[in-house]
Amino acid sequence: MILSLSKDTVQVLKETDVVFLRNRVKEVAVKIKMGLVNQTRLLTAASELVRNMMRYANGGVCMIEVVSSGRMNGVRLTFSDSGPGIPDIAAAMRDGFSTGRSLGLGLPGTKRLVNEFDIKSKVGEGTVVTILKWANG
Amino acid sequence: MTLNTHTLLQKKKKTILELWMKNQLADEGLREDLISNEELRSQSEELITALVGNLSGDNFSNLESDEWSPVIEILGGIAITRARQGFSPRETGNFVFSLKDAILDVLQQEITNDPATLFVESQKVNKLMDSLSVVTFETFIKGREEVILRQTDEITEISTPVIRVWEGILALPIIGTLDSARTQIVMENLLQEIVETGSSIAILDISGVPAVDSLVAQHLIKTVSATRLMGAECIISGIRPEIAQTVVHLGIDLSNIITKATLASALAYSFKVMRLEVKKVTVTKL
């Protein structure tokens, strides 16, 4: 069972909020003694998702949670937006697929960077992406 | 006996000012380092003159009315200068609150035999001074925000310098996050400098970039391609171990770009490409 130990939400609306969010995630990761490589992976994953949110949904909210399961601690990030949604999630999760002329590595790459990855999206309503990275996983 | 607070206050202006000055000077938080006593006095006098001058019987509670705009203007001016001078919010707030104390003290001295009137009038003065302090805080915060905005502008204006490390070799240290606007500036500066110096090698150092995600990578790839179109070779240096792992996991293909761990190794590589040699000179002792 995964327990949530602390919760914090950050609004992301402007380009400058991205840096702020990244710093907050880093703070949390350092607090649970996450290693440097995992920290960088988590930060990069967060950075990918928040850029998606800014680009396709004009911003949204990110919830930062410290979670614990037995002896393991981790960081769970939930990105929710009320943008246009993703019509074909399977395609969006494929390497090199992009509707916005980018590299198309954001979502599949993020999945490879974290331990748990979950995406829910409804066209016209928005998208919620949840990622979890264990401190030493 | 009917009593008009505003006429009373107008009459007692001098006393209030003296009392207020005494309060302010007695305050522990007096910042003599930031503002001289004379200046404080003239500020206080200006404010109190405008305040009692604009008082009339019926405008106590309505701060929106035009009669108050000169007072708000003066107060706003004072709050903004204080924000810039580095006063704390408490010190700025005390400036107005001590005036309230002074006015209430005077009211108390004047209305001695009628507690009900004293209460009503004090209440009025209280309300008025409270809204004035809200105005002070709003302006104070606005002043502080301006300072922050100016600093943000300054940070974004720190341009990315292109350094000539050797004849024909340029280096460009990138510090901070690479977004589209920044990449555009970096690319323009770099390409321009390549033309001007006729360099054949450009080194992009990303030691100062906190995270390389797919967007940053895409920007880097674009910069490298543009440099190649100009006939120069582009080397990316300063790739830290954790960034290397992340890039691999993300699945970004940087294999057709020359990458080095440090600026020094990039420079050494450039020397090799340009067939230059760095040698230690053996000094013969005399």
The yes-or-no verdict on residue B1 having pLDDT over 50 is no
Alpha-carbon distances, residue B42 vs B99, B137, B139 (angstroms)? 14, 21, 20
Which whole number is the average pLDDT over A84-102? Answer: 85
Superfamily designation of domain B5-152: Histidine kinase N-terminal domain (1.10.490.70)
pLDDT range class, residue B59, cuts 50, 70, 90? low
Q: What is the pLDDT of residues B19-28, one digit of tens each?
A: 888 888 877 7
Q: Does B244 touch chain A (CB under 8 A)?
A: no
The yes-or-no verdict on residue B3 having pLDDT over 60 is no
On average, the pLDDT of chain B sits at 83
For B194-224, b where at least 16 C-beta lie within 10 A, e where not — what string? beebebbbbbbbbeebbbbbbbbbbbbbebb
The pLDDT value given to residue A116: 92
Q: What is the pLDDT of residues B125-180, one digit of tens each?
A: 888 888 888 888 888 888 888 888 888 777 766 667 888 999 999 999 988 777 77
pLDDT range class, residue B254, cuts 50, 70, 90? confident
Q: Does B64 touch chain A (CB under 8 A)?
A: no
Q: Which residue has the higher pLDDT, B51 or B62?
A: B51
Chain A: nearest CA to B173, how far in angstroms? 19
| Domain boundaries along the sequence of chain B | 5-152, 163-273
Rounded to whole angstroms, the Cα distance separating B223 from B204 reads: 9
Q: Which domain holds residue A115?
A: 3-134
CB contact under 8 A, B241 and A41: no
Superfamily designation of domain B163-273: STAS domain (3.30.750.24)
Rounded to whole angstroms, the Cα distance separating A82 from A35 reads: 33
Chain A: nearest CA to B197, how far in angstroms? 32
**Block residue for tokens 């391609």:** B225
CB-nearest to A40 from B211, B217, B252 is: B211
- Number of C-alpha atoms within 13 angstroms, CB side, residue B197? 21
Q: Does B4 touch chain A (CB under 8 A)?
A: no
CA gyration radius, chain B: 33
The pLDDT value given to residue B2: 47
Name the token pair of A50. Answer: 């928040």
The pLDDT value given to residue B266: 94
CB atoms within 10 A of CB A105: 24
Name the token pair of A103. Answer: 């590299």
The residues, ordered by sequence, that sit 6+ positions from B102 with a Cβ below 8 Å of its Cβ are B16, B17, B19, B20, B23
Q: What is the CATH number of the domain that holds A61?
A: 3.30.565.10
Enumerate residues 154 to 213 of chain B having a beta carbon within 8 A of any beta carbon in chain A.
Answer: 177, 179, 210-213
B65: which DSSP letter?
A: S
The pLDDT value given to residue B159: 62
pLDDT range class, residue A6, cuts 50, 70, 90? confident
Structurally, chain A folds into a number of domains equal to 1
**Block residue for tokens 């000094």:** B283
Q: What is the pLDDT of residues B66-91, one digit of tens each?
A: 777 888 888 888 888 887 787 888 88
A111: which DSSP letter?
A: H
pLDDT range class, residue B262, cuts 50, 70, 90? very high
pLDDT range class, residue A137, cuts 50, 70, 90? confident
